[in-house]
Amino acid sequence: MAGVKIGLALGGGAARGWAHIGVLKALHEAGIRPDIIAGTSIGAVVGGCYSSGHLADLEGFARELTPRRIFGYLDFNLAGNGLIGGQKLCDRLDRHLGDRLIEDLDTRFTAVATEIGTGHEHWLSRGKLVDAVRASYALPGIFKPVRVNGRWLFDGALVNPIPVSVCRALGARYVIAVNLNFDVLGRGSVVPSPDVHFDDDGPADEPVAELIETPARGMRGLLQRQIFGRGDGAPGISTVMVDAFNIVQDRIARSRLAGDPPDAMISPRLQDVGLFDFHRADELIARGMQAANRQLEDISREIDTRTPKRGTSATAQASYQSSNLASVQPGSSGKALLQPVAK
């Protein structure tokens, strides 16, 4: 499909982001290779792994997750500026991505993050890939913010939940967006209390084992109830924070997509999937593939019509490109500071 630059905007959505893996696999099988990928939050995680050639590693990691393993990666940090330190997750990313630089990736990639204090939108298109991804998924109050080039950054979904505008500004002529939340709000989001069962999920040598073999077991149970909620249905701290964040993200996404709509929208059906359901990767990847397959015929046809045919004059091609450039309005968010900050 050479001849037209394809952009892929991967939106945020916590555990629902595993559906992005299925979307990318379906596009790949159909011969559609994005030239530009922009990701926000979990979309930055999946997009960064794809751009660096590690999508298979991420898929393997996701499919192996159980409720027990998920809990083992949550290094609680009540004394800091986030409930979860995130170091265990960072170590896992480092294991696969290492010191890869964004500017050296085969596919052009940008992660979106928000600056604390100013609310500026930052496009992380240079520097260490792991740092950019961590900054983009640092959910306020849940994960610690990440310092990049002297600025403290957190989740980009606060300013650009589905970064279509980033793809356009970077030169994409056909933008495919993946919206993970289109059918969630309005019908009630699903954020279950993750009841962790330790008896049947695996051997005791997993990361969580050190938590349950200490005298602080009672404290661990208390933290679990306070953070994830009680059995009577009362929401925990994380449920309240994440669901409130999800409402804000949905409103911002609707507004920005109305002003800068994508050329194609892929919307997996994820109404019954909770934001913490990371252990449902098999199902979510399959739903992502199904959603992409429903759109593939239209997407392929539209890309084909925009691809300059052999014999097209240089003047006609230049006119076509100019007409498309006229519709690109980078920085449409007004006051956002749109610049790469990682060096």
CA 238 to chain centre: 18
Q: Which distant-in-sequence residues (6+ apart) come within 8 Å of 56 by Cβ?
A: none
Cα–Cα distance measured from residue 203 to residue 194, given in angstroms and rounded to the nearest whole number: 19
Q: Catalytic pick from 41, 52, 125, 193?
A: 41
| CA gap 101, 147 in Å, rounded | 17
Taken in order 218, 219, 221, 225, is the CA torsion positive or negative? Answer: positive
Residue corresponding to tokens 């790949």: 28
Pairing type for strands 264-266 and 108-115 reads unpaired
> Closest Cα to residue 63, out of 287, 208, 278?
278
- Catalytic status, residue 155: yes
Helix, strand, or coil (residue 314): helix
Catalytic one of 155, 260, 263, 277: 155
Q: Would residue 277 show up in a list of annotated catalytic residues for this protein?
A: no
Residue found by looking up tokens 């898929």 in the block: 59
Burial class from Cβ neighbours inside 10 Å (0-12, 13-18, 19+) for residue 104 reads: exposed
For β-strands 151-155 and 108-115, DSSP reports them as antiparallel
User: Could you list the active site residues?
Assistant: 41, 155
